Amino acid sequence: MVILSQDQNQPINLANKLNKNTNFTGIPVIDLSCPDDAKNLIVKACQEYGFFKVINHGVPLWLVSELEKETMAFFNMSQTEKDKYYPPNPLGYCSKRIGLNGDTGWLEYLLFTSNNFPTNNKTFSSLAKEYVEAVRKLGCEILELMADGLKIEPKSVFSRMLSDEKADTIFRLNHYPPCPNPNQRATTNGCRNPIGFGEHTDPQLISIARSNTTSGLQICLPDETWVPVPPDHTSFFVNVDDLLQVVTNGRFKSVRHRVVTDRLKSRISMIYFGGPPLMEKISPLRSLMEPGEESLYHEFTWFEYKSYTYRTRLAVDRLSFFHKR
Ligand code: GA4
């Protein structure tokens, strides 16, 4: 395992770093065909890193690769054709700009809300719909394993927020073109390398990502070192998001992550962001807290947190604003 310094091109001394580190030996791999082991391993991974990979997930691989083909076909269209889908608000295409507050990255993307898929391409819409539904179910299964592993009842305490018909789902298809010319590379967040998507945490409850075989995703460990996530196009990568950190009163860590581009290869990623209904009140679960344990966060609705999020820059530590002093 290579560990990267803040500047992605400078590997640091692994032995020294591992001593300081939380004994990081690689991305935790969770086999969903063994739920009894999975629930405990998921809790451990969420407490230590806020990140893990799932195998034997049950999402059909034909569905994943068909959607990837359609996605590539979209991004291969001319710029004029793609620009017809601008702005991504809430559905649509965008190139290089991220959010509304001046962030940029070496990527183009499509953003959709749950019931809002492109209608002019029937194949694309129906594949995207089927894919999001399959991944939402996977998200519910993982959230139930989390509740089970934390020994809290009912098992649906987290997953009910994703199964609610008003759940606020976002689906994102990213294309990071190769970035061969260093002079063209976006330079953000004090990192001299080609940033595809700058460092941030995801605001929702859980994010589930799948990418092609091009590397680029990196996660930040608790000691602030960045580690690359080796690509695996047959698995899904799961992030703990901000709301899950709040409802577990800080037991689970919302993982800071970023994407760097490749000099020669395109990276495609498809990410499901599972959010609760907008009016859902978010606060630490009483059933999880020890006697005398205090809530670390002020209560807020997902609508309040989301609105605040969309007014901030990507790298901002948004949760600190809701943290009790
Ligand atoms: C990060 C997670 C999701 O990709 C996203 C992003 C959103 C956007 O791309 O418009 C945000 C970003 C994300 C957090 C801070 C704000 C909003 C860009 C940005 C600068 C779709 C989301 O929900 O929040």
ipTM of the complex: 0.99
Pocket test for ligand 1, best of 101, 132, 199, 202 (most atoms within 8 A of CB): 202
- Predicted local distance difference test score (pLDDT) of residue 180: 80
Q: Which atom of ligand 1 is nearest to the CA of 314?
A: 20
The residue whose C-alpha atom lies closest to atom 23 belonging to ligand 1 is 203
Inter-residue contact 315 to 200 (CB < 8 Å): yes
- Predicted local distance difference test score (pLDDT) of residue 21: 52
- Predicted local distance difference test score (pLDDT) of residue 88: 74
Specify the higher pLDDT residue, 207 or 184.
Answer: 207
The yes-or-no verdict on residue 150 having pLDDT over 50 is yes
d(CA 277, CA 15): 45
How close is the Cα of 101 to the center of ligand 1, in Å? 11
Cβ of 269 less than 6 Å from ligand 1:
no
Cβ of 100 less than 6 Å from ligand 1:
no
Q: Is 136 a catalytic residue?
A: no
- Predicted local distance difference test score (pLDDT) of residue 15: 35
The residue whose C-alpha atom lies closest to atom 11 belonging to ligand 1 is 99
- Predicted local distance difference test score (pLDDT) of residue 142: 98
Pocket test for ligand 1, best of 169, 197, 314, 319 (most atoms within 8 A of CB): 314
Mean pLDDT across 190-208: 85
The yes-or-no verdict on residue 191 having pLDDT over 60 is no
Q: Per mean pLDDT, which range of 3-17, 152-166, 174-188, 291-305 is the poorest? A: 3-17
Specify the higher pLDDT residue, 30 or 19.
Answer: 30
Q: Which of 176, 179, 197 is nearest to 188 (CA)?
A: 197
Alpha helices in the chain (DSSP H): 14-20, 35-48, 61-75, 79-83, 122-149, 160-163, 242-247, 302-310
Query: What one-letter code names the amino acid at 57?
Result: H
- Predicted local distance difference test score (pLDDT) of residue 22: 61
Q: What average pLDDT does the structure give for the chain? A: 90
Give the SS3 label for residue 199.
strand
Q: Which atom of ligand 1 is nearest to the CA of 313?
A: 20
Cβ of 270 less than 6 Å from ligand 1:
no
Alpha carbon dihedral 197, 181, 176, 275, in 10-degree steps, equals: 10
The residue whose C-alpha atom lies closest to atom 5 belonging to ligand 1 is 202
- Predicted local distance difference test score (pLDDT) of residue 90: 65
- Predicted local distance difference test score (pLDDT) of residue 105: 94
Q: Per mean pLDDT, which range of 4-13, 82-91, 99-108, 308-317 is the poorest? A: 4-13
Q: Which of 217, 295, 222, 296 is nearest to 254 (CA)?
A: 222
How close is the Cα of 273 to the center of ligand 1, in Å? 10
d(CA 139, CA 273): 9
Predicted model pTM: 0.92
Choose the catalytic residue: 267, 311, 313, 318: 267
Cβ of 200 less than 6 Å from ligand 1:
yes
Quickly state the pLDDT bin for 86 (edges 50, 70, 90).
confident
Give the Cβ contact number of residue 61 at 10 Å: 10
Query: Strand (E) positions, the chain?
Result: 29-31, 51-55, 92-98, 103-113, 168-176, 195-200, 206-211, 217-220, 226-228, 236-240, 257-260, 267-275, 281-282, 300-301
- Lookup: tokens for 125: 């819409």
Tens digit of each residue's pLDDT (9 = 90 or more) over 288-315: 999 999 999 999 999 999 999 999 999 9
The yes-or-no verdict on residue 71 having pLDDT over 50 is yes
Q: Per mean pLDDT, which range of 1-5, 138-142, 165-169, 251-255 is the poorest? A: 1-5
Q: Strand 217-220 and strand 257-260: pairing?
A: antiparallel
Cβ of 129 less than 6 Å from ligand 1:
no
d(CA 251, CA 13): 30
